[in-house]
Structure 1
Amino acid sequence: MTRSILSGLLGLLSVVAMASLPSACESGGVGDPCLPEDEYDPQFAGFKVTEENIESRSFQCQTRICLVNHFQGRVSCPRGQEAPPTCKPGEGGCTDCRPSGTYAPDCDPAKPEQCLSGVCDAAGSFCRCGGPQDCPSADWVCGDNGVCTLHICRDNIKGCQDPTKSAEENEGKACCVPGTEDPVASPVCGQCAGDSNRNAEQAVYCSCRCGVAEGEDEDPNFNFCECPQGFECAEIRPNVGLGDKNITGKYCIKQGSQFRGEQDCGQVQGRYNSEQCEGSP
Protein backbone atom coordinates (compact mmCIF):
# COMPACT_ATOMS: atom_id res chain seq x y z
CA MET A 1 0.00 0.00 0.00
CA THR A 2 1.34 3.41 -0.90
CA ARG A 3 1.86 5.52 2.16
CA SER A 4 2.23 9.29 2.40
CA ILE A 5 1.92 12.00 4.98
CA LEU A 6 -1.03 13.50 3.13
CA SER A 7 -2.99 10.27 3.08
CA GLY A 8 -2.32 9.86 6.80
CA LEU A 9 -3.70 13.31 7.52
CA LEU A 10 -6.75 12.58 5.39
CA GLY A 11 -7.34 9.38 7.29
CA LEU A 12 -7.28 11.31 10.56
CA LEU A 13 -9.73 13.87 9.19
CA SER A 14 -12.03 11.08 8.06
CA VAL A 15 -12.03 9.59 11.55
CA VAL A 16 -12.92 12.97 13.01
CA ALA A 17 -15.73 13.31 10.47
CA MET A 18 -17.11 9.90 11.36
CA ALA A 19 -17.57 11.04 14.94
CA SER A 20 -20.11 13.56 13.71
CA LEU A 21 -21.98 11.27 11.31
CA PRO A 22 -25.70 12.05 11.25
CA SER A 23 -28.02 9.39 12.56
CA ALA A 24 -30.14 9.71 9.41
CA CYS A 25 -29.26 10.02 5.74
CA GLU A 26 -29.70 13.73 5.05
CA SER A 27 -30.20 15.20 1.59
CA GLY A 28 -28.82 18.63 2.51
CA GLY A 29 -25.71 19.41 0.49
CA VAL A 30 -26.62 17.14 -2.44
CA GLY A 31 -24.94 18.57 -5.53
CA ASP A 32 -22.17 20.36 -3.61
CA PRO A 33 -18.78 19.84 -5.26
CA CYS A 34 -16.38 17.39 -3.61
CA LEU A 35 -12.85 16.22 -4.25
CA PRO A 36 -12.36 12.44 -3.92
CA GLU A 37 -9.67 11.46 -1.45
CA ASP A 38 -8.01 9.23 -4.05
CA GLU A 39 -6.71 12.40 -5.69
CA TYR A 40 -4.41 13.05 -2.73
CA ASP A 41 -2.42 9.98 -3.80
CA PRO A 42 0.37 11.11 -6.19
CA GLN A 43 0.35 7.66 -7.83
CA PHE A 44 -3.38 7.75 -8.63
CA ALA A 45 -3.90 7.86 -12.40
CA GLY A 46 -7.53 8.96 -12.24
CA PHE A 47 -11.02 7.48 -12.46
CA LYS A 48 -12.42 5.51 -15.40
CA VAL A 49 -15.66 6.53 -17.07
CA THR A 50 -16.76 2.88 -17.15
CA GLU A 51 -16.72 2.70 -13.33
CA GLU A 52 -18.38 4.39 -10.38
CA ASN A 53 -16.93 5.23 -6.99
CA ILE A 54 -18.85 5.90 -3.77
CA GLU A 55 -16.78 7.56 -1.06
CA SER A 56 -18.98 6.86 1.94
CA ARG A 57 -17.04 8.74 4.62
CA SER A 58 -16.29 12.01 2.90
CA PHE A 59 -15.52 14.80 5.36
CA GLN A 60 -16.33 17.34 2.63
CA CYS A 61 -20.03 16.48 2.26
CA GLN A 62 -22.90 17.02 4.69
CA THR A 63 -24.27 13.71 3.43
CA ARG A 64 -20.85 12.02 3.91
CA ILE A 65 -21.19 10.68 0.35
CA CYS A 66 -18.90 11.91 -2.43
CA LEU A 67 -20.21 10.27 -5.60
CA VAL A 68 -18.05 9.70 -8.68
CA ASN A 69 -20.67 8.79 -11.28
CA HIS A 70 -18.79 7.40 -14.30
CA PHE A 71 -16.19 10.15 -14.56
CA GLN A 72 -12.82 10.10 -16.33
CA GLY A 73 -9.55 11.50 -14.99
CA ARG A 74 -8.95 13.72 -11.98
CA VAL A 75 -11.26 16.50 -10.78
CA SER A 76 -8.19 18.53 -9.82
CA CYS A 77 -6.55 18.13 -13.24
CA PRO A 78 -9.07 18.83 -16.04
CA ARG A 79 -6.70 18.42 -18.99
CA GLY A 80 -4.77 15.42 -17.69
CA GLN A 81 -1.10 14.86 -18.50
CA GLU A 82 1.46 12.50 -19.96
CA ALA A 83 3.61 10.63 -17.46
CA PRO A 84 6.22 13.14 -16.21
CA PRO A 85 9.92 12.24 -16.36
CA THR A 86 11.38 10.58 -13.28
CA CYS A 87 14.71 11.50 -11.69
CA LYS A 88 17.02 10.50 -8.87
CA PRO A 89 18.38 13.03 -6.36
CA GLY A 90 22.04 13.87 -6.83
CA GLU A 91 22.42 12.14 -10.19
CA GLY A 92 22.23 15.30 -12.29
CA GLY A 93 20.16 16.08 -15.37
CA CYS A 94 17.39 17.67 -13.31
CA THR A 95 17.63 20.77 -11.15
CA ASP A 96 14.17 20.41 -9.55
CA CYS A 97 13.87 16.73 -8.56
CA ARG A 98 10.93 16.28 -6.17
CA PRO A 99 9.58 13.25 -4.26
CA SER A 100 6.20 12.00 -5.47
CA GLY A 101 4.93 9.21 -3.29
CA THR A 102 6.36 6.33 -1.32
CA TYR A 103 5.99 2.56 -1.46
CA ALA A 104 5.90 0.53 1.75
CA PRO A 105 3.64 -2.57 1.60
CA ASP A 106 1.87 -3.65 4.79
CA CYS A 107 3.22 -6.73 6.52
CA ASP A 108 2.99 -8.78 9.70
CA PRO A 109 6.15 -8.37 11.85
CA ALA A 110 5.84 -12.06 12.74
CA LYS A 111 6.04 -12.96 9.02
CA PRO A 112 9.03 -11.06 7.55
CA GLU A 113 8.96 -13.44 4.57
CA GLN A 114 6.02 -11.35 3.29
CA CYS A 115 8.59 -8.71 2.31
CA LEU A 116 10.99 -8.95 -0.61
CA SER A 117 13.74 -7.67 1.67
CA GLY A 118 12.81 -10.04 4.46
CA VAL A 119 12.45 -7.09 6.83
CA CYS A 120 9.09 -6.04 8.30
CA ASP A 121 9.22 -2.91 10.45
CA ALA A 122 8.08 -3.96 13.92
CA ALA A 123 6.69 -0.55 14.84
CA GLY A 124 5.03 0.45 11.56
CA SER A 125 4.16 -3.01 10.20
CA PHE A 126 5.44 -2.19 6.72
CA CYS A 127 8.12 -3.71 4.52
CA ARG A 128 11.45 -1.92 4.62
CA CYS A 129 13.50 -1.98 1.44
CA GLY A 130 17.11 -3.11 1.48
CA GLY A 131 17.92 -1.83 -1.98
CA PRO A 132 16.42 -0.85 -5.36
CA GLN A 133 15.50 -4.48 -6.03
CA ASP A 134 12.78 -4.16 -3.35
CA CYS A 135 11.10 -1.19 -5.07
CA PRO A 136 8.38 -1.29 -7.80
CA SER A 137 10.82 -0.43 -10.62
CA ALA A 138 14.28 0.95 -11.35
CA ASP A 139 12.82 4.49 -11.28
CA TRP A 140 12.35 4.25 -7.50
CA VAL A 141 15.00 4.90 -4.86
CA CYS A 142 15.40 2.96 -1.59
CA GLY A 143 16.10 5.70 0.94
CA ASP A 144 18.14 5.61 4.14
CA ASN A 145 14.85 5.24 6.03
CA GLY A 146 14.15 1.95 4.26
CA VAL A 147 11.25 3.34 2.22
CA CYS A 148 11.03 3.33 -1.57
CA THR A 149 10.47 6.82 -3.01
CA LEU A 150 9.73 8.00 -6.54
CA HIS A 151 10.99 11.40 -7.68
CA ILE A 152 9.66 13.55 -10.53
CA CYS A 153 11.63 16.14 -12.49
CA ARG A 154 9.81 19.48 -12.58
CA ASP A 155 12.31 21.43 -14.67
CA ASN A 156 9.89 21.97 -17.57
CA ILE A 157 6.67 22.18 -15.57
CA LYS A 158 4.97 25.58 -15.82
CA GLY A 159 2.84 25.11 -12.71
CA CYS A 160 -0.15 23.07 -11.59
CA GLN A 161 -3.55 22.80 -13.24
CA ASP A 162 -6.46 24.44 -11.46
CA PRO A 163 -10.03 23.18 -12.01
CA THR A 164 -11.35 26.73 -11.56
CA LYS A 165 -9.26 28.01 -14.49
CA SER A 166 -9.98 27.88 -18.23
CA ALA A 167 -8.58 25.26 -20.58
CA GLU A 168 -6.24 27.89 -22.02
CA GLU A 169 -4.90 28.78 -18.58
CA ASN A 170 -4.28 25.10 -17.75
CA GLU A 171 -2.58 24.32 -21.06
CA GLY A 172 0.91 22.91 -20.55
CA LYS A 173 0.56 22.64 -16.78
CA ALA A 174 0.96 19.51 -14.67
CA CYS A 175 -1.33 17.44 -12.48
CA CYS A 176 -0.49 18.04 -8.83
CA VAL A 177 -1.65 16.72 -5.48
CA PRO A 178 -4.51 19.10 -4.52
CA GLY A 179 -3.42 22.02 -2.38
CA THR A 180 0.27 21.42 -3.08
CA GLU A 181 2.82 21.67 -5.88
CA ASP A 182 3.74 17.99 -5.50
CA PRO A 183 3.59 16.41 -8.97
CA VAL A 184 1.39 13.46 -9.83
CA ALA A 185 3.61 10.67 -11.15
CA SER A 186 1.07 8.89 -13.37
CA PRO A 187 -0.31 9.65 -16.84
CA VAL A 188 -3.84 11.06 -16.50
CA CYS A 189 -6.66 11.18 -19.08
CA GLY A 190 -8.31 14.48 -19.82
CA GLN A 191 -11.92 14.90 -18.69
CA CYS A 192 -14.82 14.04 -20.96
CA ALA A 193 -16.55 16.70 -23.05
CA GLY A 194 -18.26 19.54 -21.23
CA ASP A 195 -21.65 18.64 -22.69
CA SER A 196 -21.30 14.88 -22.04
CA ASN A 197 -22.70 14.77 -18.47
CA ARG A 198 -19.46 12.92 -17.64
CA ASN A 199 -17.19 15.84 -16.75
CA ALA A 200 -16.43 16.77 -13.12
CA GLU A 201 -19.27 19.29 -12.76
CA GLN A 202 -21.92 16.80 -13.88
CA ALA A 203 -20.51 13.56 -12.49
CA VAL A 204 -18.66 14.28 -9.21
CA TYR A 205 -20.51 15.82 -6.28
CA CYS A 206 -22.03 15.17 -2.87
CA SER A 207 -24.98 12.77 -2.99
CA CYS A 208 -27.04 10.50 -0.75
CA ARG A 209 -28.51 7.01 -0.90
CA CYS A 210 -32.17 7.11 -1.90
CA GLY A 211 -33.07 3.44 -2.41
CA VAL A 212 -31.95 -0.17 -2.43
CA ALA A 213 -30.52 -1.91 -5.47
CA GLU A 214 -32.85 -3.23 -8.12
CA GLY A 215 -34.33 -6.59 -7.12
CA GLU A 216 -33.56 -6.10 -3.41
CA ASP A 217 -36.17 -6.09 -0.65
CA GLU A 218 -36.90 -2.72 0.90
CA ASP A 219 -34.79 -1.95 3.98
CA PRO A 220 -36.96 -0.40 6.72
CA ASN A 221 -33.91 0.09 8.95
CA PHE A 222 -32.12 2.49 6.59
CA ASN A 223 -33.19 6.12 6.53
CA PHE A 224 -33.06 6.85 2.80
CA CYS A 225 -32.99 10.44 1.58
CA GLU A 226 -35.32 12.22 -0.83
CA CYS A 227 -33.66 13.79 -3.83
CA PRO A 228 -33.91 17.60 -4.06
CA GLN A 229 -35.17 19.47 -7.10
CA GLY A 230 -32.99 18.95 -10.15
CA PHE A 231 -31.96 15.45 -9.08
CA GLU A 232 -33.41 12.01 -9.63
CA CYS A 233 -33.04 8.70 -7.78
CA ALA A 234 -31.14 6.21 -9.95
CA GLU A 235 -29.27 2.97 -9.40
CA ILE A 236 -25.53 3.50 -9.25
CA ARG A 237 -24.22 0.29 -7.70
CA PRO A 238 -26.02 -3.05 -8.13
CA ASN A 239 -25.72 -5.53 -5.29
CA VAL A 240 -23.48 -8.31 -6.62
CA GLY A 241 -22.76 -9.76 -3.20
CA LEU A 242 -19.40 -8.04 -2.72
CA GLY A 243 -18.51 -5.28 -0.30
CA ASP A 244 -20.84 -3.34 1.97
CA LYS A 245 -24.48 -3.93 1.06
CA ASN A 246 -25.43 -0.62 2.70
CA ILE A 247 -23.70 1.41 0.00
CA THR A 248 -25.25 -0.46 -2.93
CA GLY A 249 -28.37 0.76 -4.67
CA LYS A 250 -29.73 4.11 -5.75
CA TYR A 251 -28.31 7.60 -5.28
CA CYS A 252 -29.41 11.10 -6.14
CA ILE A 253 -27.88 12.14 -9.47
CA LYS A 254 -28.37 15.20 -11.62
CA GLN A 255 -31.37 14.81 -13.89
CA GLY A 256 -30.50 13.39 -17.28
CA SER A 257 -27.01 12.29 -16.26
CA GLN A 258 -27.50 8.52 -16.26
CA PHE A 259 -24.53 6.63 -17.69
CA ARG A 260 -25.36 4.94 -21.00
CA GLY A 261 -21.91 3.75 -22.07
CA GLU A 262 -18.35 4.85 -22.70
CA GLN A 263 -19.51 6.58 -25.88
CA ASP A 264 -21.02 9.23 -23.58
CA CYS A 265 -17.54 10.68 -22.98
CA GLY A 266 -17.36 12.53 -26.29
CA GLN A 267 -14.34 14.63 -27.18
CA VAL A 268 -11.75 14.54 -24.42
CA GLN A 269 -10.62 17.90 -23.05
CA GLY A 270 -6.85 17.46 -23.00
CA ARG A 271 -4.69 14.34 -22.94
CA TYR A 272 -6.07 11.42 -24.91
CA ASN A 273 -4.63 7.94 -25.30
CA SER A 274 -6.73 5.33 -27.07
CA GLU A 275 -5.41 2.52 -24.84
CA GLN A 276 -6.13 4.33 -21.57
CA CYS A 277 -8.87 6.88 -22.20
CA GLU A 278 -12.46 6.67 -23.40
CA GLY A 279 -13.94 9.19 -25.78
CA SER A 280 -12.22 10.70 -28.78
CA PRO A 281 -9.26 13.08 -29.29
Structure 2
Amino acid sequence: EIGVGGRNGRRARSWDSLRYYNRKGKISEKPEVILKKLDAELGRRTREHIAYQKANYPKEEWVKPADIRDHFGYYISIVVGSGHCGGTSWGQYRGVFANGIKNALTIEQLDELGINLNIYYHSYNGDSPNGKPASVDIKTEREYFAELKKWNEWRKTAGKMFYLTLHPSNTDAVLRRLRASKRKPPREKTRVEQDHYFVLTNNNGSLLKYTSRGYRYSWNKSSGKKFRTEEIAEKYRQQLVDKGRHQAESWKVERIDQAYSFLVLA
Protein backbone atom coordinates (compact mmCIF):
# COMPACT_ATOMS: atom_id res chain seq x y z
CA GLU A 1 0.00 0.00 0.00
CA ILE A 2 1.24 3.49 -0.88
CA GLY A 3 0.37 6.47 1.29
CA VAL A 4 1.35 10.11 1.58
CA GLY A 5 1.70 12.49 4.48
CA GLY A 6 -1.20 14.95 4.48
CA ARG A 7 -1.02 18.62 5.44
CA ASN A 8 -2.71 17.95 8.78
CA GLY A 9 -0.03 15.42 9.70
CA ARG A 10 -2.34 12.47 9.13
CA ARG A 11 -1.65 9.79 6.60
CA ALA A 12 -3.78 9.62 3.45
CA ARG A 13 -4.03 6.95 0.77
CA SER A 14 -2.93 8.29 -2.57
CA TRP A 15 -1.02 7.33 -5.70
CA ASP A 16 -0.41 10.97 -6.61
CA SER A 17 3.11 11.10 -5.17
CA LEU A 18 4.22 7.84 -6.78
CA ARG A 19 6.79 8.34 -9.53
CA TYR A 20 6.79 6.54 -12.86
CA TYR A 21 10.12 5.57 -14.36
CA ASN A 22 9.24 5.24 -18.04
CA ARG A 23 11.22 6.96 -20.74
CA LYS A 24 9.60 10.14 -22.02
CA GLY A 25 6.60 9.46 -24.23
CA LYS A 26 6.40 5.75 -23.35
CA ILE A 27 3.22 4.35 -21.82
CA SER A 28 4.99 1.09 -20.89
CA GLU A 29 8.61 0.25 -20.21
CA LYS A 30 11.19 -2.55 -19.98
CA PRO A 31 11.90 -3.80 -16.42
CA GLU A 32 15.64 -3.08 -16.63
CA VAL A 33 14.98 0.52 -17.69
CA ILE A 34 12.55 1.07 -14.81
CA LEU A 35 15.06 -0.21 -12.24
CA LYS A 36 17.92 1.79 -13.77
CA LYS A 37 15.93 5.04 -13.69
CA LEU A 38 14.71 4.16 -10.19
CA ASP A 39 18.28 3.80 -8.89
CA ALA A 40 19.16 7.11 -10.52
CA GLU A 41 16.35 8.69 -8.47
CA LEU A 42 18.19 7.89 -5.23
CA GLY A 43 21.37 9.54 -6.47
CA ARG A 44 19.50 12.62 -7.68
CA ARG A 45 17.56 13.03 -4.43
CA THR A 46 20.72 12.61 -2.38
CA ARG A 47 22.67 15.18 -4.40
CA GLU A 48 19.81 17.68 -4.27
CA HIS A 49 19.42 17.42 -0.50
CA ILE A 50 23.15 17.64 0.16
CA ALA A 51 23.33 20.78 -1.99
CA TYR A 52 20.34 22.23 -0.13
CA GLN A 53 21.96 21.52 3.24
CA LYS A 54 25.23 23.14 2.25
CA ALA A 55 23.36 26.27 1.21
CA ASN A 56 21.09 26.53 4.25
CA TYR A 57 22.55 24.72 7.29
CA PRO A 58 25.85 24.60 9.20
CA LYS A 59 27.95 21.49 8.54
CA GLU A 60 27.28 19.93 11.95
CA GLU A 61 23.56 19.71 11.07
CA TRP A 62 24.00 18.01 7.71
CA VAL A 63 22.26 14.69 7.17
CA LYS A 64 24.45 11.87 5.88
CA PRO A 65 23.61 9.97 2.65
CA ALA A 66 22.99 6.82 4.73
CA ASP A 67 20.28 8.67 6.67
CA ILE A 68 18.60 9.68 3.42
CA ARG A 69 18.51 6.00 2.39
CA ASP A 70 17.10 4.94 5.76
CA HIS A 71 14.36 7.60 5.70
CA PHE A 72 13.84 7.97 1.95
CA GLY A 73 10.06 8.26 2.27
CA TYR A 74 10.48 11.54 4.16
CA TYR A 75 12.22 13.14 1.17
CA ILE A 76 9.58 12.07 -1.37
CA SER A 77 6.48 12.26 0.91
CA ILE A 78 5.59 8.59 0.49
CA VAL A 79 4.74 5.82 2.95
CA VAL A 80 5.15 2.17 2.00
CA GLY A 81 3.07 -0.09 4.24
CA SER A 82 2.22 1.33 7.65
CA GLY A 83 3.77 4.09 9.73
CA HIS A 84 5.05 7.49 8.63
CA CYS A 85 7.00 8.80 5.65
CA GLY A 86 10.22 8.93 7.66
CA GLY A 87 9.90 5.24 8.44
CA THR A 88 10.04 4.22 4.77
CA SER A 89 13.55 3.26 3.65
CA TRP A 90 14.98 3.31 0.15
CA GLY A 91 14.90 -0.49 0.13
CA GLN A 92 11.17 -0.53 0.89
CA TYR A 93 10.44 2.02 -1.83
CA ARG A 94 12.55 0.22 -4.42
CA GLY A 95 10.92 -3.06 -3.42
CA VAL A 96 7.52 -1.75 -4.57
CA PHE A 97 8.86 -1.74 -8.13
CA ALA A 98 11.28 -4.68 -7.94
CA ASN A 99 8.70 -7.00 -6.36
CA GLY A 100 6.01 -5.72 -8.70
CA ILE A 101 8.18 -6.61 -11.70
CA LYS A 102 9.05 -9.99 -10.21
CA ASN A 103 5.42 -10.92 -9.55
CA ALA A 104 3.90 -9.26 -12.62
CA LEU A 105 1.37 -11.19 -14.69
CA THR A 106 1.42 -11.36 -18.47
CA ILE A 107 -1.43 -9.85 -20.49
CA GLU A 108 -2.60 -13.38 -21.26
CA GLN A 109 -2.63 -14.29 -17.54
CA LEU A 110 -4.62 -11.16 -16.77
CA ASP A 111 -7.16 -12.17 -19.40
CA GLU A 112 -7.56 -15.57 -17.72
CA LEU A 113 -8.41 -13.73 -14.50
CA GLY A 114 -11.00 -11.62 -16.27
CA ILE A 115 -8.88 -8.45 -16.54
CA ASN A 116 -8.19 -6.72 -19.84
CA LEU A 117 -6.01 -3.76 -20.79
CA ASN A 118 -7.66 -0.86 -22.51
CA ILE A 119 -6.20 2.18 -24.26
CA TYR A 120 -8.50 5.18 -24.30
CA TYR A 121 -8.77 8.94 -24.74
CA HIS A 122 -10.41 11.14 -22.12
CA SER A 123 -11.37 14.79 -22.25
CA TYR A 124 -13.09 16.88 -19.59
CA ASN A 125 -15.07 18.77 -22.23
CA GLY A 126 -16.26 15.54 -23.83
CA ASP A 127 -14.75 16.15 -27.27
CA SER A 128 -14.04 13.24 -29.61
CA PRO A 129 -11.22 14.10 -32.06
CA ASN A 130 -11.51 12.86 -35.62
CA GLY A 131 -9.64 9.67 -36.36
CA LYS A 132 -9.50 8.58 -32.74
CA PRO A 133 -9.05 4.78 -32.59
CA ALA A 134 -11.81 2.76 -30.98
CA SER A 135 -11.02 1.45 -27.50
CA VAL A 136 -10.97 -2.34 -27.39
CA ASP A 137 -10.17 -4.94 -24.74
CA ILE A 138 -6.57 -6.10 -25.14
CA LYS A 139 -6.12 -9.79 -24.35
CA THR A 140 -2.66 -10.67 -25.73
CA GLU A 141 0.78 -9.11 -25.96
CA ARG A 142 0.50 -9.07 -29.76
CA GLU A 143 -2.77 -7.12 -29.55
CA TYR A 144 -1.18 -4.68 -27.09
CA PHE A 145 1.67 -3.67 -29.38
CA ALA A 146 -0.67 -3.47 -32.38
CA GLU A 147 -3.06 -1.16 -30.49
CA LEU A 148 -0.18 0.88 -29.07
CA LYS A 149 1.21 1.49 -32.55
CA LYS A 150 -2.23 2.60 -33.76
CA TRP A 151 -2.70 5.05 -30.87
CA ASN A 152 0.84 6.45 -31.18
CA GLU A 153 0.24 7.25 -34.85
CA TRP A 154 -3.01 9.00 -33.91
CA ARG A 155 -1.25 11.03 -31.21
CA LYS A 156 1.31 12.34 -33.70
CA THR A 157 -1.41 13.73 -35.97
CA ALA A 158 -4.00 14.76 -33.36
CA GLY A 159 -1.59 16.06 -30.73
CA LYS A 160 -3.65 14.41 -28.01
CA MET A 161 -2.69 12.19 -25.07
CA PHE A 162 -4.10 8.73 -24.43
CA TYR A 163 -4.14 6.48 -21.38
CA LEU A 164 -3.72 2.82 -20.48
CA THR A 165 -5.98 1.23 -17.90
CA LEU A 166 -6.92 -2.18 -16.48
CA HIS A 167 -10.52 -3.21 -16.92
CA PRO A 168 -11.80 -6.07 -14.68
CA SER A 169 -14.91 -7.83 -15.98
CA ASN A 170 -16.09 -8.43 -12.41
CA THR A 171 -14.11 -7.19 -9.41
CA ASP A 172 -15.42 -9.80 -6.96
CA ALA A 173 -14.78 -12.66 -9.40
CA VAL A 174 -11.24 -11.41 -10.06
CA LEU A 175 -10.48 -11.27 -6.34
CA ARG A 176 -11.77 -14.82 -5.86
CA ARG A 177 -9.56 -16.10 -8.68
CA LEU A 178 -6.50 -14.29 -7.35
CA ARG A 179 -7.01 -15.67 -3.86
CA ALA A 180 -7.65 -19.17 -5.17
CA SER A 181 -4.39 -19.15 -7.14
CA LYS A 182 -2.40 -18.20 -4.03
CA ARG A 183 -4.22 -20.42 -1.57
CA LYS A 184 -2.12 -23.39 -0.49
CA PRO A 185 -3.84 -26.75 -0.10
CA PRO A 186 -4.31 -27.67 3.58
CA ARG A 187 -1.61 -29.93 4.95
CA GLU A 188 -2.87 -33.39 5.73
CA LYS A 189 -3.02 -34.53 9.34
CA THR A 190 -3.25 -38.00 10.81
CA ARG A 191 -4.61 -38.96 14.22
CA VAL A 192 -2.09 -40.60 16.54
CA GLU A 193 -3.35 -42.65 19.48
CA GLN A 194 -1.11 -43.03 22.53
CA ASP A 195 -1.46 -44.19 26.13
CA HIS A 196 0.01 -41.06 27.73
CA TYR A 197 0.55 -37.33 27.30
CA PHE A 198 2.27 -34.45 29.10
CA VAL A 199 0.99 -31.33 30.88
CA LEU A 200 2.48 -28.33 32.70
CA THR A 201 1.73 -28.25 36.42
CA ASN A 202 2.45 -26.06 39.45
CA ASN A 203 1.02 -25.70 42.96
CA ASN A 204 -2.30 -24.44 41.56
CA GLY A 205 -2.93 -27.28 39.11
CA SER A 206 -2.36 -27.78 35.37
CA LEU A 207 -2.04 -24.98 32.81
CA LEU A 208 -4.98 -24.39 30.47
CA LYS A 209 -3.94 -21.16 28.72
CA TYR A 210 -2.32 -17.79 29.27
CA THR A 211 -4.41 -14.62 29.13
CA SER A 212 -3.62 -10.90 29.14
CA ARG A 213 -4.05 -10.86 32.93
CA GLY A 214 -2.28 -14.08 33.85
CA TYR A 215 -3.22 -17.67 33.16
CA ARG A 216 -6.06 -20.13 33.56
CA TYR A 217 -5.57 -23.50 35.20
CA SER A 218 -7.47 -26.61 36.20
CA TRP A 219 -7.42 -28.40 39.56
CA ASN A 220 -7.61 -31.63 37.59
CA LYS A 221 -4.19 -32.40 36.10
CA SER A 222 -5.67 -34.43 33.26
CA SER A 223 -7.72 -31.41 32.08
CA GLY A 224 -4.76 -29.16 31.32
CA LYS A 225 -3.21 -28.25 27.98
CA LYS A 226 -1.92 -31.51 26.52
CA PHE A 227 1.38 -32.15 24.77
CA ARG A 228 2.22 -35.24 22.73
CA THR A 229 5.87 -35.51 23.83
CA GLU A 230 7.96 -34.36 26.75
CA GLU A 231 10.20 -32.40 24.36
CA ILE A 232 7.25 -30.41 22.99
CA ALA A 233 6.01 -29.63 26.51
CA GLU A 234 9.46 -28.52 27.65
CA LYS A 235 9.91 -26.32 24.58
CA TYR A 236 6.58 -24.59 25.29
CA ARG A 237 7.52 -24.10 28.96
CA GLN A 238 10.84 -22.54 27.96
CA GLN A 239 9.08 -20.16 25.56
CA LEU A 240 6.93 -18.93 28.45
CA VAL A 241 10.07 -18.33 30.52
CA ASP A 242 11.85 -16.53 27.68
CA LYS A 243 8.83 -14.24 27.16
CA GLY A 244 8.66 -13.43 30.87
CA ARG A 245 5.09 -14.67 31.29
CA HIS A 246 3.50 -14.57 34.75
CA GLN A 247 4.92 -17.30 37.05
CA ALA A 248 6.46 -19.06 34.04
CA GLU A 249 9.27 -20.46 36.20
CA SER A 250 6.75 -22.33 38.35
CA TRP A 251 5.68 -24.79 35.65
CA LYS A 252 6.98 -28.35 35.57
CA VAL A 253 6.48 -30.95 32.87
CA GLU A 254 4.49 -33.93 34.14
CA ARG A 255 3.47 -37.15 32.42
CA ILE A 256 -0.16 -38.31 32.58
CA ASP A 257 -0.71 -42.02 31.91
CA GLN A 258 -4.07 -41.82 30.18
CA ALA A 259 -5.09 -42.54 26.60
CA TYR A 260 -5.34 -39.54 24.29
CA SER A 261 -5.20 -38.89 20.54
CA PHE A 262 -3.38 -36.07 18.73
CA LEU A 263 -3.70 -34.72 15.20
CA VAL A 264 -0.21 -34.71 13.68
CA LEU A 265 0.94 -33.32 10.32
CA ALA A 266 1.58 -36.16 7.90
TM bucket (normalised to shorter chain) is under 0.3
Asked which structure has the greater CA Rg, the reply is: 2
Question: Normalization by structure 2: what TM-score?
Answer: 0.24
Question: Normalization by structure 1: what TM-score?
Answer: 0.23
